[in-house]
Structure 1
Amino acid sequence: MLGRTLLVAALVAGTAVQAPSAEAVTRSEIAGASPTAPTLVVSGEGSVYNPAGDPPTWYATAEAYDTGTAAAPTRTVFGGYVDHYDADGASDNGQLVSTDGGQTFATTTRPGYEASARLSDGRVIDAQFIGQTSVSLQRRTLVMRYSTDSGTTFPTTANATLDIAPQSFAATSSNFFPNTVVQVPNGPLLMAGYANLSGGQSALLVQSTNAGGSWTLRSVIAQGSSTRGYSETALALNSDGDLITVSRSSTYDNLWRRMSTDLGTTWTAAPQGIPEFAADSSGNRPFGRINPRLSLLPNGILALVAGRPDNSIALSYDGRGTTWNVRKVYYDNHSTASPQDLNEGSSGNADFAWTESNRAVLLADSCHAVTYQGTHYNKCKWHNAPMSGGTTEFQIMRAMADVLTADTGKIDLSSKARLSGDLGAVAGHDRSGARGAVDGSTELWSGAFEQGGTGTFDLALDRPYTLTRAGLSLALGGTQSATVQTRLDASDPWQDWYSVTNQEGYALRYTSPPARKAQYVRVLTGPASYCPPGVTAPCSMLNEIELYAGDVDSFENDPVNGIPRGYSVDYTVDDQGRGHQGVWVTTSTAGSGSGRALFITDDHAQHLPAVRRTDSSSATRTLEFRFHPVKWRPTGEGSPSSFMFDLLATPVSGQRRTAYHLSVWSDGTVRYYAGNAWHALGSGPALDPSTAVWSTIRVDATATRATVTVNGVTTGSATRADGATSNMTGHQFSASSTADANETFIIDDVFTGNG
């Protein structure tokens, strides 16, 4: 959906921008986040499931798996919810499915699930709580389900044995509660869960070496006692390949972390409360205390979700989980009279799943359905407390999180690179192949493989870029070396750019070598120390690659529906108190060939949507961008419709100045403003103004004149709008008029340079 009114596009972590109440028009400028630092931006909060009749709907779950093919990759999100009252028996979860990255969800008749993993052979396993039986004080039988279609259906069910010796269950009626399943590449299948043991309720790590057919105790994650019990436990491999667990405790005083360098055979220290989540001196809890969920995103950032109070996400930017850099509430529905009351509103049983290398969908419930003293209650209603989220109905709520690494020049390799070389597909794995290495996923089988030797992976980019950063994910479950080479012209010899030696890990690892101008990139992959099942050794693989350029704003690593990083936008509150921004990053790119672009729409006669970036001062400046009109203002509705693009001059007394004021008009002409008048460049239209066409516009400016080129053809030269000769300091894009509205444009691939 291209057009919409946007009050404030997104919430940058730690900074909630709110529209002020006003009777007169007020204007301000809002800055996006820094492009040189990692960032969390949360947006898009709303209900995705509100069942008729208000039946119990709570305890949100989310799993996601790669689907589709390497040529047409998709990632399906399998959401879920509990549809009975808490402490009132058990039943299969309901399921919600999203095929558009978590934007929308549809109901299904299949049961939802929450403790699942992709096995090394490509199947998905789901560990069920329902259906387990007791064999002895040390043994249980658990139900395992298996899927061969990436988690869509589970036609195969098997009974698995669980043996927790030398530990013992407190009673034969005690159950094991599965929480998280992780398949270690070239290692065991691990499952974290909890049970009431003879010594207290404890978090356990169990292992399987036969794809879930049987399980044995690997270690006790957190031993319960009479004063503190441990229950729901999240489990993940961090960016270093170490194991991290986060557990809930019965005391609600914190979440408890534990780390292991040998996959949970031993632990580096006793369970420790996470310092960043400790309560303040007044007892306020800054982060949720129950049902923690962990996931390492493909870009190497580790994310954690937990709830009660509220529903929150935290990020560990280095992916290790030893430090949590930022935390943010993404959905709250608590008592406004007592925000820290754990017995009002949302249950806090939240979950999430990554949908792109830098994006995740976050789910939560609005109200907790409980059974208390034999009676069913809705925790949003039982004490008649006003709810902060404005609802007392059972719903599943969703928000989106943009989890962004540093740098904004990410090149969309899936659309802007021709791929070749000898790294390819593996039979039986649809997501493998050359395109699997540029699909944004670090799942094991979403990559390119060479069987029987080393590999070569070539990328021919759509144009030269000043490459400044690269990310590589190589052999998962092993070590592997690689060398990245570049060349500017197809006839040039290859030159080494950088190398990695014995790299290991489970996500992209980034390197920032000296900047290199190049259009062609080659990755020479060495032999991997581990080859996945069915891949002939010796083998080589490229699981994923990312490339970044220092001279382009591609918006691929910017927040969707948010302000692009490094830019500022104008914000207007109209005379009715409504806010207008009109600029955001969009995934509706109108056939641009990339995943994200910059959207500019004018929807109000008191607001001029404008976005600008300030750069270093220079006497010469190059600005190039791709332009697509979505809607021109109809003739007769005010002044002629046009799109404005400016080069900014050196500010005077702190006030912004424009060096070159340029525009594309709805008739396809390009014009410049000087001497208080508009002047046409060239004779006749310079581009096709059709809303079905993209054009490339380039400006090469000196201190006194600017040459404009459209689609490779020089249109003419412009003089300055300000009549000055000062240095240029940035650029701006905007709609045409404050007084006139009803026009929309998309901008992409903004190249800049000093000369």
Structure 2
Amino acid sequence: MRRSGKDLRTRIHYLGLGAAAGMLIMAGLVGSTAQGQGSLPLQGSGFVAGDGADPDSITSGAGSHWNVLNWGPGAPAAVPASYSINKVDGTGRTTRKILVSTQSNPDVASAASEVNLSTSEDSGLTFLHTERDQPATALNMTRMPDGSLLQIDFIPEWNAEHTGVDLLVRTSTDDGEHWKLQRAPVAMPEDHQLGPTPNGLRVHRRVLVLPGGTLIVPAYGTFVGERTSSSFVLQSSDGGETWSLRSVIPTADLGGSNEVGWTFTADNRLLAVLRGTVGGSPELFRSVSEDNGRTWTTARKLIGPDGAVLHGIYPDLVLQPNGTLLLATGRPDVRVLTSNDGTGEHWDSARTIFANYPSTGNNGRYDGTSGNTSMENVGAGRSIIFYDQCHVWGCGAYDEQFGVSASYVAAVTPGVGLIDVASKLIDKSASVSGSFAAPDRRFPEQRPAAAFDGSSAVGSEAVLVPRGSRPGTMVLKLDRSYPINRIGLMLGHGDAESADVAVSADGSNWKTVNRVRDRQDRAMRYTDVTASDVGYLKITGAKDRPTKITELQLYAAGIDTFENELPFAVPRGWTDAEHAWVTDVAADPAYSEFGGDHSRTALRLWDKWTDDNARITRPSPATDHQRASMSLGQTDTRAPLTIGVRGTAGGKPVTAWNFRLKAGTGSAPQQLEVNNGTGWVGLGALDEAIPLRTYRPVSIDATTDRATITIGSQTFETTTTMNAADQLAGLTFSTDEPAGYGGIYYLDNLSITG
């Protein structure tokens, strides 16, 4: 559809927010979906609503968007690249320090790089510090075995004799605050001499450190005697001081290739996605190596979820700790694809994250965002994608107002009962003990709690060490017993590791549920177990060497913990949501959210309307006797909270029981009421008011003719039904009548059983 300049101005200035905000609005208008607008979407964006996804499936989506930088007209910043390392914050939680570099130079081969570097110390939530004219770009950066950083410039230099190329390699021993430059010569074999590419080649992207310390990095250029460019791999066995050709990725009759995005996959192969060289929106190719990049399969065209060849540029790949694989690309627009099994053999979903092209005529379709993107992992199933709002050649429609934005992208695995062990360790409601390696000053994030921190990065592990003839062990004591039915485990980083996993109700009697032998993990692998009450979990490592527990997850059967959900989405397994979704922000007295019950996330009902309410339903299998338990919190009780027990009568849905928790007068405790089908009847007042920003246990034990509700330690019984029912089948939560205003309630750890 053709859009006129008037249409564009209308879209941008519809809300009086200016060009940059208008571009974000257009993301929703052009190619995004209502899901994932975040807890504070721009005015005009749709709130998430409706039904959540299947709780037993892998689900992908996108979340909030925010700015890394957003400068005024005429200050260029485009083509983001990123790198991150783990740190430990003041609370004891593992966070990511993220470096995002952008370019201010013209986009021509002869232009020298002009780099802006933005830094986040809180996993990408804020970028409080940006410096211009920085020496290092985040495009080709890695953490070395000694904890230092190594970075390679995108553009090398010819050596003094103009007979070969020197990579510009920088190292930092203070996490990127200061850099030391050295020239590192590249030795190319006679049959692969560098040809007409200015300065010989381009380095792109992400340096990998192999076991033993060998460095490998993709590059591209045109060899002497060839007409098209090739993608190849450089290697260094001396810490980056010298480099040589390791391999060339063959493309056969597909034509030339250049930019490479790569990662290890869930099956421990090295996957490379290559940008073809034909067309304004070239095809993407894929190739796989099973020997750490020494040899490669002949590249073939990458097929998207729709069965068509995928077009794009600047590919980037992230294997998330939960085993799902993300691919970011652009041009057209900014897109993310998900490979559910983490292999990249096939792609299961695709999503447009951002689109703001000003026209569809000729090259106008590729103005606006350049499609150059980068991703960093920030959780077991969550990453951040960085993208520019426009490039130097495509920002005229927006008065040369540049900016770089960020959005959550996520893919979550089956199971809604993930236990937030990391938060419980921090608040000391859970504990971990065992025989661990001494602290490593190179990697301060390496510690017992690292096994639960959501990161699969090298250095972020719990390392078990043998004691004499006894193998290393780790014992987790949970805050209470849970019906554990699923365990995720990642050992090491692609090297062979072995361990036994056992569970116990009392810490004395153990049952082994998983034996791992010489397994090479790049992400967690999941084991389903028969649900049983588990208060303790033990991992026993090898007797003759340290064992790295990189990541460990525990899932409880039949409990909604909201920890394994898409960001700010309707939770999986829930239906008919309106103004109710998962909230996942740190507790802060500056706003209403205060996390979950000994966890990070909760389900929030948010009512700030006088013509609508907040509501959501959790269906459950029909039964004659339904028992439910949950944690309930609140920060605004002006609108009451209702809890309806769903049921059926003659096969038709009804509300069998309906309870209402209503604010008392003044400072008086809340009142509990029950609906008799025509109105509300008082059951009594709470003994004491529920403090704001505090969770209280709530349970409902109901049959079709009698119900008991317990809030804290206080119990109320009733036989007053709202409607007669044959069976009971779930719960509905709401903020009562639409005319009510100001109800903000939080639910966590919901369990419904028959």
TM-score range (shorter-chain normalised) is 0.7 to 0.9
Counterpart for residue 708 of structure 1: 709
1:698 maps to 2:699: yes
Counterpart for residue 670 of structure 2: 668
| 1:135 CA drift (Å) | 5.8
Number of equivalences? 688
Counterpart for residue 328 of structure 1: 351
| Cα distance change of structure 1 residues 669 and 148 upon mapping to structure 2, 3 Å threshold | farther
| 1:187 CA drift (Å) | 5.6
Q: Describe the superposition over 1:492-532 as per-residue Cα deviations: whole angstroms up to 9, x where unpaired.
A: 511122222222121111111222221211112225xxxxx
Counterpart for residue 256 of structure 1: 285
1:351 maps to 2:379: no
Q: 1:650 aligns with which of 648, 651, 671?
A: 648
Contact 1:570 1:608 in 2 (8 A): no
1:549 maps to 2:556: yes
Greater share of helix:
2
1:244 maps to 2:246: no
Q: Describe the superposition over 1:367-403 as per-residue Cα deviations: whole angstroms up to 9, x where unpaired.
A: 2213xxxxxxxx243xx6xxxxx88632212221122
Q: 2:452 aligns with which of 418, 425, 438?
A: 438
What SS does structure 2 have at the residue aligned with 1:415? helix
What SS does structure 1 have at the residue aligned with 2:304? helix
| 1:177 CA drift (Å) | 1.4
| Cα distance change of structure 1 residues 345 and 479 upon mapping to structure 2, 3 Å threshold | same
Counterpart for residue 239 of structure 2: 211
Greater Cα shift, 331-340 or 552-561? 331-340
Q: Name stretches of at least 5 consecutive residues in structure 1 with no aligned partner.
A: 1-6, 20-25, 371-378, 385-389, 528-536, 572-580, 634-640
| Cα distance change of structure 1 residues 60 and 730 upon mapping to structure 2, 3 Å threshold | same
Superposed, which structure 2 residues align to 1:16-27 within 5 Å? 16=34
What SS does structure 2 have at the residue aligned with 1:435? helix
Q: Name stretches of at least 5 consecutive residues in structure 2 with no aligned partner.
A: 1-24, 38-45, 425-429, 587-592, 664-668
Q: 2:258 aligns with which of 231, 253, 262?
A: 231
Contact 1:67 1:76 in 2 (8 A): yes
Counterpart for residue 405 of structure 1: 413
Q: Describe the superposition over 1:533-583 as per-residue Cα deviations: whole angstroms up to 9, x where unpaired.
A: xxxx72122111001111211111112221111112344xxxxxxxxx344
Greater Cα shift, 38-47 or 441-450? 38-47
Contact 2:696 2:711 in 1 (8 A): yes
| Cα distance change of structure 1 residues 301 and 675 upon mapping to structure 2, 3 Å threshold | closer
| 1:484 CA drift (Å) | 1.5
Superposed, which structure 2 residues align to 1:195-210 within 5 Å? 195-198=221-224, 199=226, 200-210=228-238
Counterpart for residue 575 of structure 2: 568
Counterpart for residue 119 of structure 2: 97
Counterpart for residue 509 of structure 2: 493
Counterpart for residue 590 of structure 1: 594
Give the Cα separation in 2 of the matches to 1:642 and 1:470: 39
Q: Describe the superposition over 1:131-157 as per-residue Cα deviations: whole angstroms up to 9, x where unpaired.
A: 6333677732112222334x4424333
Contact 2:649 2:727 in 1 (8 A): no
What SS does structure 1 have at the residue aligned with 2:106? coil
Q: 2:294 aligns with which of 262, 265, 275?
A: 265
| Cα distance change of structure 1 residues 563 and 570 upon mapping to structure 2, 3 Å threshold | closer
Q: Describe the superposition over 1:207-229 as per-residue Cα deviations: whole angstroms up to 9, x where unpaired.
A: 1222222221110014699x832
| Aligned-partner residue type, residue 270 of structure 1 | T
1:524 maps to 2:540: yes
Give the Cα separation in 2 of the matches to 1:651 and 1:29: 27
Give the Cα separation in 2 of the matches to 1:548 and 1:18: 24
1:360 maps to 2:401: no
Superposed, which structure 2 residues align to 1:416-455 within 5 Å? 416=424, 417-428=430-441, 429-452=443-466, 454-455=471-472
Q: 2:304 aligns with which of 265, 270, 276?
A: 276
Counterpart for residue 84 of structure 1: 105
Give the Cα separation in 2 of the matches to 1:259 and 1:567: 39
Q: Give the TM-score normalised by the residue count of structure 2.
A: 0.85
Superposed, which structure 2 residues align to 1:270-349 within 5 Å? 270-276=298-304, 287-338=310-361, 343-349=366-372
Contact 1:92 1:112 in 2 (8 A): no
What SS does structure 1 have at the residue aligned with 2:316? strand
Q: 1:192 aligns with which of 215, 218, 228?
A: 218
| 1:606 CA drift (Å) | 1.1
Q: 1:157 aligns with which of 174, 178, 181?
A: 181
Greater Cα shift, 398-407 or 645-654? 645-654
| 1:18 CA drift (Å) | 12
| Cα distance change of structure 1 residues 715 and 81 upon mapping to structure 2, 3 Å threshold | same
Give the Cα separation in 2 of the matches to 1:352 and 1:345: 20
| 1:672 CA drift (Å) | 2.6
Q: 1:514 aligns with which of 530, 540, 545?
A: 530
Give the Cα separation in 1 of the matches to 2:743 and 2:448: 40
Give the Cα separation in 2 of the matches to 1:27 and 1:154: 44
| 1:717 CA drift (Å) | 1.5
| 1:309 CA drift (Å) | 0.8
Counterpart for residue 471 of structure 1: 488
| 1:164 CA drift (Å) | 2.5
Q: Describe the superposition over 1:176-234 as per-residue Cα deviations: whole angstroms up to 9, x where unpaired.
A: 21112112244622101112221231111111222222221110014699x83211111
| Aligned-partner residue type, residue 249 of structure 1 | G
Counterpart for residue 152 of structure 2: 127
Give the Cα separation in 1 of the matches to 2:237 and 2:95: 30
Contact 1:242 1:260 in 2 (8 A): yes
| Aligned-partner residue type, residue 554 of structure 1 | T
Contact 2:339 2:348 in 1 (8 A): yes
| 1:663 CA drift (Å) | 2.8
| Aligned-partner residue type, residue 524 of structure 1 | T
Contact 1:246 1:292 in 2 (8 A): yes
Give the Cα separation in 2 of the matches to 1:331 and 1:68: 32
Q: Describe the superposition over 1:425-449 as per-residue Cα deviations: whole angstroms up to 9, x where unpaired.
A: 4321211111111111111211111
Q: 2:519 aligns with which of 498, 503, 507?
A: 503
Give the Cα separation in 2 of the matches to 1:18 and 1:459: 34
Q: 1:115 aligns with which of 132, 137, 140?
A: 140
| Aligned-partner residue type, residue 144 of structure 1 | V
| Cα distance change of structure 1 residues 211 and 705 upon mapping to structure 2, 3 Å threshold | farther
Give the Cα separation in 1 of the matches to 2:509 and 2:176: 48
What SS does structure 1 have at the residue aligned with 2:229? strand
| Cα distance change of structure 1 residues 288 and 733 upon mapping to structure 2, 3 Å threshold | farther
Q: Percent of counterpart pairs with the same letter?
A: 25
| Aligned-partner residue type, residue 494 of structure 1 | W
Give the Cα separation in 2 of the matches to 1:121 and 1:632: 54
Counterpart for residue 637 of structure 1: none
Counterpart for residue 724 of structure 2: 724
| 1:277 CA drift (Å) | 7.2
| Cα distance change of structure 1 residues 341 and 502 upon mapping to structure 2, 3 Å threshold | farther
Counterpart for residue 22 of structure 1: none
Counterpart for residue 80 of structure 2: 60
Aligned-pair Cα RMSD in Å: 3.0
Contact 1:569 1:583 in 2 (8 A): no
Q: Give the TM-score normalised by the residue count of structure 1.
A: 0.85
Contact 2:325 2:339 in 1 (8 A): yes
Give the Cα separation in 2 of the matches to 1:288 and 1:507: 28
Q: Describe the superposition over 1:330-381 as per-residue Cα deviations: whole angstroms up to 9, x where unpaired.
A: 01111443498654222111111111111111111122213xxxxxxxx243
Contact 1:412 1:594 in 2 (8 A): yes
